[in-house]
Amino acid sequence: MDACAALADSIDRIAGRGLDDRRFLKELGRIGGVGRGPRWVTDAASGGSNRLRGRGFAADYDDDTDGQARHFAGTVAVTVRLGAGPARWLTRYVLRDAPDTADGRLSAVAIEFAGLVGAGELAQADAAAWVRARICGAALDRPGADRPPADRPVAP
């Protein structure tokens, strides 16, 4: 299964519901098994759950497991609740996702995504295209693909 494409499709469906940005990001977290209520902390601490098992992530974000959709969505869920700084610290020191690893890079891009949506700089309607262009392998791993720098958002 192409879990990255399925993640983007799920983002499109959630965006179509007309939620405010914060609720949109929390709903995205449910894809990673992080609920909306007060138990979100235990969901996140337990690593969430793989609702979208599979691959499909670009090589820079692929850790050779079927859990990268969960990782992205769960990191978004934590970021929307705690902020980018605490989320970055948790992924680095609690999850031990070093910045130069696939998980570290995926955490960073999930935190960036949550920040862009939360600040209104990335519209929900453009969020799925951003994910497809930024982290999905089908878009990035083909020869001649224009890979955006990790420190610059992709325009949808």
Q: What is the pLDDT along the chain (156 residues), one digit of tens a residue?
A: 688 999 999 999 999 999 999 999 999 988 887 777 777 766 666 565 566 667 889 999 988 887 888 889 999 999 999 999 999 998 898 888 899 999 999 999 999 999 999 999 999 999 999 999 999 986 544 444 444 444 444 444
Domain annotation covers residue 26: yes
Domain annotation covers residue 58: yes
Domain annotation covers residue 147: no
Domain annotation covers residue 30: yes
Burial class (CB in 10 A: 0-12, 13-18, 19+), 108: buried
Query: Rounded distance, CA 11 to CA 28, Å?
Result: 7
Residue 133 structure tokens: 């262009």
Domain annotation covers residue 153: no
Question: How many structural domains comprise the chain?
Answer: 1
Domain annotation covers residue 156: no
Range of the domain at 91: 3-140
Residue 75 and residue 10 in contact, taking contact as beta carbons nearer than 8 Å: no
Domain annotation covers residue 155: no
